[in-house]
Amino acid sequence: MSAFRTAPGIAGITATGLSHEAGANGEPAAGRPVNGSRRRLLGVAGVALGAAWLPHGARADAWPSRTVRIVTPWTAGGGTDLVARIVADKLRNELGQPVVVENRAGAAGNIGSEYVARQTPDGYTLLMTSASFAIAPAVYRNLGYDALKDFAPVTKVATAPLLVLVAANSPFATMSDLVAFARREGKKVTYGSFGNGSPSHLIGESLNKLAGLQMTHVPYTGGGAALDLTSGTLTLAILDALSMTPQVKAGRVRALALNGRQRLPALPDVPTLIESGIEFDAVGWHALFAPAGTPREVVDKLNQAVNRVIAAPDAQQRIHEAGSFPVIPPTSPRQWGEMFRDDVRLWGDLARQSGATIN
């Protein structure tokens, strides 16, 4: 699905198992005959010995038999981390084993992703990550993993929209107001994002392209963009709903729109970009992956268990509170794999169009 479509509204804004079979061969020692009974005993012993050396996860019917780790490549408290913990809390009941969340943050998610890519593909180490994972191949020159080849897609858990925000005392009440101003002021208009090549950066550059704007990108790390927005240093910022919804409700900032096709239950009066006349339907997400080579039976069991978690009303409520939307209906591994490939292409195209690169 294209990220762009023609829409009415703002004039001029259009767009286009590892399995081992083990057993004894029953050959006698040199010069020493073996009778039938002894041959059968040796055969049984050989099978048992071979089974003892099977790698963890090779017997999919026995999975899981120990703790499952969900690695998130982001710091604790962020959207992906919260969604991972929501899933883990209920997944332990589905699997009958402990499920723990482990944060391995750094390098915009690449450290944790590379770590999981190198783990044994046995279903005991998983990756819960975000749309930045689909962007990374287009903006990083030296990734230590291949997002498409080194991972097995399990399921898409939630979508995660971003908010287009202005200061509370800003004269802009709608996206139309903002676009009209930005067309007049050109590069004087600044927008903050949470990093070069991030989803918020790419959305900002897409707005530039779709609306014929020349807004200047100002990348931030941490919460600097929100501070500069409230102080008036920035004209606007494109930030996550999780951290900014409380700021909107408190009247510190104003939300003009969000990307995607759904309004947030917590901010029902904030329209989507589509409703504002800019039909941009690319939206971020939180999703689960396993290392490539994980037995298909294990991936399928994981998929079914996580999808049952997502279907639970209390889990859906918590996902909404984390500024995201649970994916309903759920996706199969094959469906999510196809969607992920499309997203790598879509977000990659947006990144290349923006010119974003990170050494």
Round to whole Å and give the CA distance between 58 and 60. 6
* CA-wise closest residue to 162 among 49, 239, 253: 239
Express each pLDDT in 123-160 by its tens digit. Answer: 999 999 999 999 999 999 889 999 999 999 999 999 99
**Predicted confidence band of residue 15 (pLDDT cuts 50, 70, 90):** very low
Note the pTM of the prediction, 2 decimals.
0.82
Per-residue pLDDT, 61: 73
Per-residue pLDDT, 359: 61
C-beta contacts of 331-337 below 8 A and 24+ residues apart: 331/155, 331/156, 331/307, 332/155, 332/303, 333/152, 333/153, 333/154, 333/155, 333/299, 333/300, 333/303, 336/153, 336/154, 336/155, 336/156, 336/287, 337/152, 337/153
Rg (CA), the chain: 25
Express each pLDDT in 218-227 by its tens digit. Answer: 999 877 899 9
- Using the predicted structure, report yes or no on whether residue 81 has a pLDDT greater than 60: yes
Peptide bond into 329 cis (omega under 30): yes
Domains of the chain: 62-160+283-354 (3.40.190.150), 162-258 (3.40.190.10)
Average pLDDT, the chain: 86
